[in-house]
C-alpha cells in the first residue's frame, strides 16, 4: 500500500520497524491486562474474493 502511494523505501522501513516493535495492553474493567506484541496475521475468509 505504501509503495503504491509512492513512499520512499526508507520511510516504509521506518514505519515497518515501528509497527513490528509495538506492544499494547487492554483495560478490562479498569485493570490492565498483560502486555502483548502487536503483529499482523493472515486471515482466510472464504467470502473474501466476493
**Per-residue pLDDT tens over the stretch 1-50:** 677 888 888 988 887 787 777 778 888 998 888 888 776 655 566 666 55
Q: How many domains does the chain have?
A: 1
pLDDT in the model for residue 48:
61
Euclidean distance between CA atoms 35 and 11, whole angstroms: 27
Q: What share of the chain is helix, strand, coil (3-state, %, to 5)?
A: 25, 15, 60
| Domain span at 30 | 1-50
Euclidean distance between CA atoms 50 and 46, whole angstroms: 9
Amino acid at each position: 500500500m505504501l509503495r503504491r502511494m509512492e513512499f520512499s523505501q526508507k520511510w516504509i522501513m521506518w514505519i515497518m520497524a515501528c509497527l513490528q516493535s509495538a506492544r499494547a495492553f487492554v483495560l478490562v474493567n479498569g485493570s490492565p491486562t498483560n502486555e502483548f506484541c502487536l503483529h499482523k496475521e493472515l486471515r482466510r475468509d472464504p467470502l473474501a474474493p466476493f
